[in-house]
Amino acid sequence: MSLLTLDALSLRYTPSGTAAVDGLSLSVEPGEVVALLGPSGCGKTTTLRLVAGFERPGAGTLTLDGRVLVGPGAFVPPEQRSVGMVFQDYALFPHLSVLENVTFGLSKLSRREAEDKARAMLTLFGLGEFASRMPHSLSGGQQQRVALSRALAPGPRVLLLDEPFSSLDSGLRASTRIEVRRVLKSLGATVVLVTHDQGEAMAFADRLAVMRAGKVEQVGTPESVYSAPRTAFVAYFLGGTNLLPGMGFGGGARTVLGNLPVMGQAKGKVLLSLRPESLRLVPDTDSVAVGGALRAEVLSREFQGPSAEYTVACGGMELVVRGAPELSLRPGDRARLEIVGKAGVLADSPD
């Protein structure tokens, strides 16, 4: 049974305005980490605020552990929801010590019990020796872990994270993300994360909910959503893709690149998603194509560290290919293009 259920939630900030959240439905299982992923303005943070109780929807229901928090004639205020939240800027109290920040939400416990619980939480995050420090003396990653300790100390049923790693530099972000996930999993915490960072969402979450214009476009594990995007929007947003119209014939489709193998089945006119890593470039010095090989011209190269992205012209189209950075291809070079992966069949209608 789902711990948290959002059923047809909608919110408009003005009666005639565009819906910030539009009939959104989503369920979260106990101990699961779900990431709300999408471009700016798609409704991610508004959805988080609806769960927290900071906004009241115009329609729909919200249920937590079998208890209706929002519904017809029902609205439970934020402080009574058993929902914790960590904001993008951490919102630590600058005049309180690290320990005092964490004990702030434990007012129902005795001072000794609150301090013992706070110290245990700080130790779990590797911050036990910083209890007497003030927030301004901590690094960004340490401040974030203090904020997480404070949110988790009261034992919320659901923890909400709003862009929690966005203010950290790239090197610290990865290591902090790994450590935070480890602690959250050890606690069995149920988490809803908001981010616009595709890599972060795929690395941190058990499931992704890709949002667009206030709706959930696709939900699934990071692997399933990446490998089998349902729409062109999801395919582009989650890692980039090449779109190809084709004519399906079961396990394949005829395209300008020839017959491509597809995931699942394809029938009739279809629109295909072919990831850049499903293509491979090989330097070509032959004046004549051999064995019906696809010929391509390199238009641009973008170095990205562990890989490089090449834009090539082939079959009257421009395609993006992700390959090894040491590949000796530069703009203007000729290459052979090979298909090394399968295409996904999208729900979008081909033009």
Cα four-point dihedral sign 140, 146, 147, 149: positive
Q: Do 151 and 286 fall within a single domain? A: no
d(CA 341, CA 150): 46
Number of domains in the chain: 2
Q: In terms of C-beta density within 10 A (0-12 exposed, 13-18 middle, 19 or more buried), how is residue 37 classed?
A: buried
The pLDDT value given to residue 84: 94
Q: Do 111 and 220 fall within a single domain? A: yes
Q: In terms of C-beta density within 10 A (0-12 exposed, 13-18 middle, 19 or more buried), how is residue 145 classed?
A: buried
Task: Among 199, 232, 265, give the residue marking a domain's end.
Answer: 232
Task: Among 168, 203, 232, give the residue marking a domain's end.
Answer: 232
Which CATH number goes with the domain that contains 330? 2.40.50.100
Q: Do 197 and 295 fall within a single domain? A: no
The pLDDT value given to residue 170: 77
Question: What does each of the 351 residues of the chain score in pLDDT, given as a tens digit?
Answer: 899 999 999 999 998 889 999 999 999 999 999 999 999 999 999 999 999 999 999 999 999 999 999 999 999 999 999 999 998 888 899 999 999 999 998 988 999 999 999 999 999 999 999 999 999 999 888 998 999 999 999 999 999 999 988 878 877 888 888 999 999 999 999 999 999 889 899 999 999 999 999 999 999 999 999 999 999 999 999 988 999 999 999 999 999 999 999 998 999 999 999 999 999 999 887 644 444 578 999 999 999 888 999 999 998 899 999 988 888 899 999 999 999 999 999 998 776
Q: Do 194 and 303 fall within a single domain? A: no
The pLDDT value given to residue 288: 46
Q: Do 304 and 211 fall within a single domain? A: no
Q: Do 336 and 212 fall within a single domain? A: no
Q: Which two tokens stand for residue 202?
A: 């795929």
Residue 327 amino acid letter: L
Q: Do 159 and 293 fall within a single domain? A: no
Residue pointed to by tokens 């729409």: 231
Q: Do 54 and 166 fall within a single domain? A: yes
The pLDDT value given to residue 174: 85
Q: Do 150 and 216 fall within a single domain? A: yes
Residue 118 counted as domain residue: yes
Which CATH number goes with the domain that contains 220? 3.40.50.300
Residue 249 counted as domain residue: no
Domain coverage including residue 128: 4-232
The pLDDT value given to residue 290: 47
Identify the H or E element spanning 282: strand 279-283
